[in-house]
Structure 1
Amino acid sequence: MFRRTILPAFGLVLLALALLVVALRLSAMQRETVSRDDLLPARGEMVNTSMGAVYVDARGPEEGVPVLLVHGSVGWAGFWGETSDALAAAGYRAIAFDLSPMGFSDRDPKADYTRPRQAQRILSLIRALNIKPILLAHSFGAGPGVEALMDTPDRFRAAVIVAGALGVGSEPAPLPAPLRPAWVREAVVSATITNPPALPYLLAMFLHKKDRATPEYVDILTTPYPREGTTEAIADWLPTLLSTVPEARSIDPEAYPRIDLPITLIWGEEDTATPIAQGEWLRDTIPGSSLIRLPDLGHIPQIEDPAVFQKALLDALGQL
């Protein structure tokens, strides 16, 4: 009797979940119908590089010291807006850009978003702009940023790493088998990252000050999401988040003592995504580096307390 009762109920639950997944994927397809040209913010521009067109939002005097801002995981250039304005007001040339496939930059036709490939995208943009910048990289964006710095250090003046999700010492590993089918990854993405009701909660997960996951920041974060094929593109990128490749220099602990550039680390003391112990290890390992600790802030200090973060950043840049 028990089996006759429980099995049909279990089957109904599975069916309901399957229908929900299908509904979420269809909803994402219906939302993502706007062409990039129709969605581009007025203040930015597309810059042609050897690896495709890159969306760039540059602010501040053209003669100012260039600071190249690399966003984290599913961010884009506009999420740096307050930081870019503060840098511009201090006389720096703030150059935020969209690291493919996020935002408005060209997407890779081969869907190659591995860390070494992303590093080459950064270097191709630097060459196209003909700059030698200070690197400012946050969270997951620090991986490609540091990879680029290790590959071609003479293209950089210095670097500021904010809560860097570098995965130092992680063993190269393939993508978990359940996530290898593209349709599974698309279902996961449409239920989470590109699902509007879920996004405020996902953002809050990375914040110590949960109330800073405001509608304003969520709206900024989702500005590029109506672009055609967003869920599919993020699903193509997802393996980069969940697996590593042996070619990445920046996961090798022995590579960090060889860095020969001024490096400052900025870390929220309450960061649970990349605990501050990781910042302490980097400070102790990279010769001459320093660590600025931000009390009572978490993984995204630039939105948790913009004023505190901007002061720490400007102080760091002044010392560099």
Structure 2
Amino acid sequence: MTESKITCHQRTFNGVNVYYECHNYHPDKPAIVFIHGFLSSSFSFRRLIPLFEDTFSIITLDLPPFGRSEKSLTFQYSYKNLARIVIELIEYLKLKDVVLSGHSMGGQVCLNVAKLKPSCVSKLVLLCSSAYLGPSHYGLVMSSYVPFFYLWVKTWLSRKGVLGNLQNVVFDHKLIDEEMIDGYTEPFLDDRTFMALTRMIRDREGDLSSKDLQHIKKPSLLIWGEEDRVVPLHLGRKLKDDLTDSTFISLKEIGHLLPEECPDIVQSHMVDFLYGEKALSQ
């Protein structure tokens, strides 16, 4: 394995400042763009990235308002707008043969990219992807206009603590260490994140419908943890049925946080999907 070269960047895409990282980037190499889930960041792929960076240009980004990206109170946090950020990033870097891989909410962003601009994507890898959620409840949307509503959002999301939240998404609790807890604590330290989340509550238009999904023709790999409490297995199987060119894999004794729980297994299935019987080193 060659020594990793990582560069960190801040740039405006779709009207909002976005933090992104390039790992062993070269414009002539095929690329994997990893997109994280809700209340997460590029941090969540730290164990998966090293397994690919010899062969691919790896790009990770922090979706606003998470991680090191802007916590704008004027940006419209719809899936379409988040997808446009990814599209503009892909075009700016002139990425080739892009594999879009999204975890949880990031999977829904990937699907929106494939719907909005299919030419940006060669294949999709969806890791316990969000699916079939509707828009926010009308009462919750109306409540989001109440002054200091963000404090309620923060209290609700923090009620179990970071450790409790991780125990809900990781099947084997022995995997939860200090590094993981510290990495997922970051969103709870900045009130601006929760202020922006009040906008996201209003702006989220709901996941793509079955009809929309059936029009996405990109080869897709769906990997699910059988112990996923956030996006249950049956939703993954339904998503597989709606994506007409898709492969579905379920993993025993694995929860929702696939990139953390079993990066080697995820990498192995991704290699099989991307190369068939060819080895990654070939």
- What's the counterpart of residue 46 of structure 2? 81
CA separation in 1, counterparts of 2:198 and 2:225? 25
How far the C-alpha of 1:302 sits from its partner, in A, is 1.5
CA separation in 2, counterparts of 1:171 and 1:55? 27
CA separation in 2, counterparts of 1:191 and 1:276? 25
- What's the counterpart of residue 21 of structure 1? none
Deviations 1:99-125 (A, max 9, x none): 001111233341421212211111121
Q: Which runs of 5+ in 1 are unaligned?
A: 1-41
Q: Structure 1 residue 118 and structure 2 residue 82: aligned?
A: yes
- What's the counterpart of residue 165 of structure 1? 130
The question of whether the paired residues in 2 share the 8 Å contact of 1:115 and 1:143 is answered with yes
CA separation in 2, counterparts of 1:182 and 1:137? 33
- What's the counterpart of residue 35 of structure 2? 70
- What's the counterpart of residue 291 of structure 1? 248
User: What amino acid maps onto 2:238 in structure 1?
Assistant: W
Superposition map of 1:198-209 within 5 A = 198-209=161-172
How far the C-alpha of 1:238 sits from its partner, in A, is 4.6
Cα distance 1:50–1:254, how it changes in 2: closer, same or farther (>3 A)? closer
How far the C-alpha of 1:309 sits from its partner, in A, is 2.5
Query: Whose radius of gyration is greater, 1 or 2?
Result: 1
How far the C-alpha of 1:293 sits from its partner, in A, is 1.4
Superposition map of 1:1-320 within 5 A = 43-62=7-26, 63-89=28-54, 91-132=55-96, 133-167=98-132, 170=134, 173-174=137-138, 176=140, 177-189=142-154, 192-193=157-158, 198-223=161-186, 230-238=190-198, 240=200, 244-245=204-205, 250-319=207-276
How far the C-alpha of 1:52 sits from its partner, in A, is 3.3
CA separation in 1, counterparts of 2:241 and 2:259? 24
How far the C-alpha of 1:295 sits from its partner, in A, is 1.3
CA separation in 1, counterparts of 2:12 and 2:226? 39
The question of whether the paired residues in 2 share the 8 Å contact of 1:70 and 1:142 is answered with yes
Cα distance 1:100–1:281, how it changes in 2: closer, same or farther (>3 A)? same
CA separation in 2, counterparts of 1:172 and 1:178? 11
Q: Which structure has more strand as a fraction of its residues?
A: 2
How far the C-alpha of 1:289 sits from its partner, in A, is 0.7
The question of whether the paired residues in 2 share the 8 Å contact of 1:175 and 1:243 is answered with no
RMSD of equivalent CA atoms: 2.6
TM-score by length of 1: 0.75
How far the C-alpha of 1:150 sits from its partner, in A, is 0.4
Cα distance 1:171–1:302, how it changes in 2: closer, same or farther (>3 A)? closer
CA separation in 2, counterparts of 1:48 and 1:244? 21
CA separation in 2, counterparts of 1:166 and 1:108? 26
TM-score by length of 2: 0.85
User: What amino acid maps onto 1:181 in structure 2?
Assistant: V
Partner SS for 1:251: coil
Partner SS for 1:165: coil
User: What amino acid maps onto 2:192 in structure 1?
Assistant: E
- What's the counterpart of residue 3 of structure 2? none
CA separation in 2, counterparts of 1:67 and 1:59? 10
User: What amino acid maps onto 2:176 in structure 1?
Assistant: A
Q: Which structure has more helix as a fraction of its residues?
A: 1
Deviations 1:114-160 (A, max 9, x none): 21221111112122212242100010112222112101111111110
CA separation in 2, counterparts of 1:117 and 1:146? 13
